[in-house]
Structure 1
Amino acid sequence: MDEYERNIIPQIEAIYDTFTALEKTIADYFIHYDGKADLVSKNVAKRLYVSEASLSRFAQKCGFTGYREFLFRYQQSFGTTSRSGASHHIKKVLNSYQELLNKSYSLMDEGQINRIVDMLSKKKRIYVYGKGSSGLAAMEMKFRFMRIGANIEAITDEHIMKMNSVLLDGDCAVIGISVSGKTEAVLESMKIAKKCGAKVVLMTAHTGKKFLEFCDEIMLFALKENLEQGKAISPQFPILIMVDMLYSQMLQLDEYRRETLHEYTLEALDER
């Protein structure tokens, strides 16, 4: 597939926790919009029992000048797709993956990817913190980046995580992974690492101003309802999309040497 939808729903979901109760009502409407009703501000306001001024403030909080600009961007990317030849449950899984791919494309920031890769390539040691499914993604990141010569370690135990964070310095980089952005052990360890001089990157589905106090970069990945519980698909999927983007970009740095290292590691694994 060569074309992807770029839409603003991932942006709304990323700042959802910062909305007031009224703004969440508006956000929910646009996140779950079925395309059947018109989106004229007067009619939407009446439908949601809010004022048109509330719609305007919501649009501004999402980064637009007003509701008109928000609506233009929203309608630009709004569309429906249909799939046939599969059962309802199979369609649901496929649609979920496609939705996350489209959202990942919308959230992808190539400039940020280049900055993070440049940061990682200059550090002597890289540590990836994560728990649960995020910990599994951290382990996968370790295995991928080790194969191209990165000195990287994944830490999934919160006690080791905290002990490790106090031993870091300016030669280190820490990548913390938390779908919710609320994993206390990961966030606290990242704060300590930052105080010790390490560069810090947070990978999350939820952003907030509080992260700016201790993060050099906040890399957003896509979110889907109930993703953290892994009810329909693996919660690691959107994380690994972003990990693969970083991996692909890092592979381009000194490409010949890194591809050679990759081949050597594969040969080592094949040896009996």
Structure 2
Amino acid sequence: MEYYVKSIIPILKMNYDKFTPLEKNIADFFIGNKERVDLSSKAVAERLYISEASLSRFAKKCGYRGYREFIYQYESTFVGNRESMTGNTRMILNAYQELLNKTYSMIDETQIDRISRAMDKAERVVVGGSGSSGQAAAEMEMRFMRIGVNIDSIQDGDLMRMRAVFQDARSLVFGISVSGETDSVLYLLRESHWRGAKTVLITAEKKEEFSEFCNEVVCMPSLRYLNQGNLISPQFPILVMVDILYAHYAALDKGKKELLHDDTLRALDGGKRRQPISGVK
């Protein structure tokens, strides 16, 4: 399987609901295609009973200068008939690799850098999530706490609603909802945003309404569209995003954060204290 190659398939899936019926028909072909076929504009137009101009307009709507550029990118990541999987281990590892490739295609490093710097400035950070998303929130709290972030995770829906009213301009609030439909998480973000906090939603669904109460929407791949996705932990794509955010944040004043992390290890081991760092949040 190709490693870390920019693919247009996740982009098609992410924007699928915005396509017209004709565009969805085109997208369905490229998403579902599993064979090496003639992908010239003439051949595809005849196959789909559409005009070549329609293919050109579709490519431009996807962010390309034309169909030729679109199909070049598509073919560069297209994998024909894959050799059959030989066992559960190979099947799962291939699914994880596919998920990582999709994450690579979707990640916006400029956005991650903005969020990292907002976290560095915030006096307090809150992260809320339910179910598996709540478990990922707890992991996020543990990791960032160890490098000096004043962070709390919340998994209970009622607590999310109550804690929302205490947020203000000094706060950075994360909400994790794979479906983008968890009421308590959305309430946490809406109420916190209304009270002046910066808000970040980590989700697999992209909806225009999120922009009304989220300063940033971090999109991750959906297991829905992944082969063998039902066998993959729903926490995995979330934790990948958390790891990327952690790496960017830890790179800000790296030496200081490494010392803080080492201090937590010494604390767990009951080791010798050293002079504390001043100005830690």
Q: CA RMSD in A?
A: 2.6
Say which SS state the counterpart of residue 188 (structure 1) adopts.
Answer: helix
Contact 1:18/1:208, CA 8 A, preserved across alignment: no
Residue 17 of structure 1 corresponds to 17
Contact 1:13/1:223, CA 8 A, preserved across alignment: no
Residue 173 of structure 1 corresponds to 172
User: Where in structure 2 are the equivalents of 1:123-272 lying within 5 Å?
Assistant: 123-225=122-224, 231-271=230-270
Identity %: 51
Contact 1:117/1:249, CA 8 A, preserved across alignment: yes
Gap change, CA 1:226 and 1:65, over 3 Å in 2: closer
d(CA) in 2 for partners of 1:148, 1:245:
15
d(CA) in 2 for partners of 1:57, 1:137:
40
- The Cα of 1:258 is off from its aligned counterpart by 1.3
Say which SS state the counterpart of residue 127 (structure 1) adopts.
Answer: strand
Residue 277 of structure 2 corresponds to none
Contact 1:13/1:206, CA 8 A, preserved across alignment: no
- The Cα of 1:151 is off from its aligned counterpart by 0.7
User: Where in structure 2 are the equivalents of 1:83-122 lying within 5 Å?
Assistant: 87-122=86-121
Say which SS state the counterpart of residue 176 (structure 2) adopts.
Answer: strand
For residues 189-222 of structure 1, the C-alpha deviation after alignment (integer angstroms, 9 at most, x for no partner) is 2111111000011111222322222221121212
Say which SS state the counterpart of residue 6 (structure 1) adopts.
Answer: coil
Unaligned runs of 5+ in 2: 271-281
Aligned residues: 270
Residue 32 of structure 1 corresponds to 32
For residues 142-199 of structure 1, the C-alpha deviation after alignment (integer angstroms, 9 at most, x for no partner) is 1110111101111122221111112110000111112122223212321111110000
Say which SS state the counterpart of residue 215 (structure 1) adopts.
Answer: coil
Gap change, CA 1:183 and 1:96, over 3 Å in 2: same
d(CA) in 1 for partners of 2:210, 2:96:
28
Q: TM-score, normalised by structure 2?
A: 0.86
Gap change, CA 1:50 and 1:136, over 3 Å in 2: farther
d(CA) in 2 for partners of 1:48, 1:88:
36
Residue 274 of structure 2 corresponds to none
d(CA) in 1 for partners of 2:55, 2:115:
36
d(CA) in 2 for partners of 1:146, 1:236:
19
Unaligned runs of 5+ in 1: none
For residues 85-134 of structure 1, the C-alpha deviation after alignment (integer angstroms, 9 at most, x for no partner) is x7343222111100111111122222111111000010011111211221
Say which SS state the counterpart of residue 246 (structure 2) adopts.
Answer: helix
